[in-house]
Amino acid sequence: MYRKLLAERDIEDLITLEPHMPYRQALHECAEADGLLLFQAADCDKQIPAKAYEYLRIGKPILALTTHTGDTAALLREVGGATIVNIVSEDEIYEGLSSFVDGLRVGTHPVPDKVKIQRYTREAQAGQLAKVLDELKAVGHYEEKARIETVAK
């Protein structure tokens, strides 16, 4: 199906279709690429795909076809290194893709900021979750103690 579409559009020399590959091999392929492509539909604006975090860790420039208002776009704006284009705007995709490729060719497209992405590592996120749980535990303990003291009066 896709090969036929590529042939119809005369872009077979630009796009390579590869068979399914194991996860680690796919990450290796991404690490070898000049840039990474991320798709996120508008109906998924309130979530960030794991792929976004994988791409940040790889540290290559990202072309994100998503909305400008979603959580993925906000994350990418925060850490940098991404060209974000509206997934439903043909003009924006055309301009963004051209700019992205030009930046890759001359080596001027920024990459994600290594310091800023550290807060999104599994270790950092687990630490944040532990802190929240500790705070909830402390609040719950305080509220239980206050309830007991009120009942005792």
Query: Are 65 and 87 within 8 A, CB to CB?
Result: yes
Percent of the chain with pLDDT over 70: 91
- Residues in Cβ contact with 6 at an 8 Å cutoff, skipping those fewer than 6 apart: 12, 15, 17
Distance separating alpha carbons of residues 26 and 119, to the nearest angstrom: 24
Q: Above 60 in pLDDT, residue 152?
A: no
Query: Are 83 and 100 within 8 A, CB to CB?
Result: yes
Q: Above 80 in pLDDT, residue 151?
A: no
Taking the model in full, what pTM does it have?
0.79
pLDDT confidence of 149, banded at 50, 70, 90?
A: low
How many other C-beta atoms can be found within 10 angstroms of the C-beta atom of residue 121? 13
How many other C-beta atoms can be found within 10 angstroms of the C-beta atom of residue 82? 28
Mean pLDDT, rounded, for 5-30: 89
Q: Which of 34-38, 80-84, 115-119, 139-143 has the lowest mean pLDDT?
A: 139-143
81 phi-psi bin (left φ>0, alpha ψ -120 to 50, beta other): left
16-26 pLDDT, tens digit each: 888 999 999 99
Percent of the chain with pLDDT over 90: 71
Mean pLDDT, rounded, for 55-65: 97
Query: Are 112 and 56 within 8 A, CB to CB?
Result: yes
